[in-house]
Structure 1
């Protein structure tokens, strides 16, 4: 299956989690860099829309803030890094400006599959089932897949 046709596997393993799995055709170090370098994040994170990376301090306690510009609107997202294990794991909070106070805890792991590919697993933990269900109903999976397709394109352009 070509990378451009691959969709993320999105499941809800518990009443307060969303789990996302996706394989990328790039080495783990390359995927890590695309996820932690501001210039590269700006090319894929916002579904391919214009993204301004206002802050990206990839260290424990570091602050990140991105603003996506689409359809004449700006949407801000931000959080703090709780754990950074280079090329392996990121744990960070996530909050959307449109719903302040609804904080999600995201844990992302990158697994080297040993064949030049990387499996990314992201688990989002919500404070309530209603918050999880609201995110799931928001079109999150389609937006995520759009971003991951933009990441595929970036990884293919810049080996």
Structure 2
């Protein structure tokens, strides 16, 4: 089923996605935990992600880049701030330089991911909080909402491979 809803709240400085998948919570958790699976869906199809580092522990750092259709690279980083396997993950996310280090460009986004068992499988909620209204607007202008919808749209086929 994938993305059920997305909601931007400019007053609260948040962007929320709700998606549902035909897989159990433990299986959906793996798409966050395993960098090879994460990179198969983290970027939209035209901007696939590559994770050079993914330390999936509290305080762990992740470094990645997304490659555009013309070969340009957009680099990013995460710091995992909380993990409660297999249903809760929090991380800070931002833009990075060529070495994968934070640039401070457009500030930091804090993401909270929750996975819950529902009748049809797993409901995943990704709740992102921005520092300022300007940051949220710039991210929207860059296509973050559409890009996340496209990215999450790749998860069903990834989960289906494991069942095949």
The interval holding the TM-score normalised by the smaller chain is: 0.7 to 0.9
* Equivalent residue number for residue 137 of structure 2: 133
* TM-aligned CA deviation for residue 104 of structure 1: 0.7
User: How many residue pairs end up in the alignment?
Assistant: 154
TM-score by length of 2: 0.85
Secondary structure in structure 1 of the residue aligned to 2:153? helix
Aligned to 2:80: 81
Q: Is the 8 A contact 2:3 2:17 kept in 1?
A: no
TM-align CA RMSD: 1.8
Q: Report if the CA contact (8 A) 1:8-1:145 is conserved.
A: no
Q: Contact 1:21–1:121 (CA<8 Å) still a contact in 2? A: yes
2:68: which partner in 1? 70
> Which of residues 40, 44, 48 is equivalent to 1:43?
40
Q: CA deviation at 1:116?
A: 5.1
Could you tell me which runs of 5 or more consecutive residues in structure 2 were left unpaired when the two chains were aligned. none
- Write the distance in 2 (CA, Å) between the matches of 1:15 and 1:63: 27
Structure 1 unaligned segments of length 5 or more: list them. Answer: none
Q: Paired residue for 1:94? A: 93
Q: 2:76 touches 2:94 (CA, 8 Å); kept in 1?
A: yes
Show the 5 A alignment for 1:11-26: 11-13=7-9, 14-26=11-23
Q: After the TM superposition, list the runs of 4 or more consecutive aligned residues in structure 1 that deviate by more than 6 angstroms.
A: none
Deviation at 1:28, TM superposition (A): 0.7
* Distance in 1 of aligned mates of 2:120 and 2:50: 30
* Equivalent residue number for residue 156 of structure 2: 152
* Contact 1:18-1:125 within 8 A present in 2 as well: yes
Distance 2:120 2:4 in 1: 18
Deviations along 1:83-113, whole A, 9 cap, x unmatched?
Answer: 0111111110000237931111111111111
Q: CA deviation at 1:146?
A: 1.4
- Contact 2:13-2:133 at 8 Å conserved across structures: yes
Deviation at 1:77, TM superposition (A): 1.2
- Name the TM-score, length of structure 1 as normaliser: 0.88
Shift of 1:7: 3.5
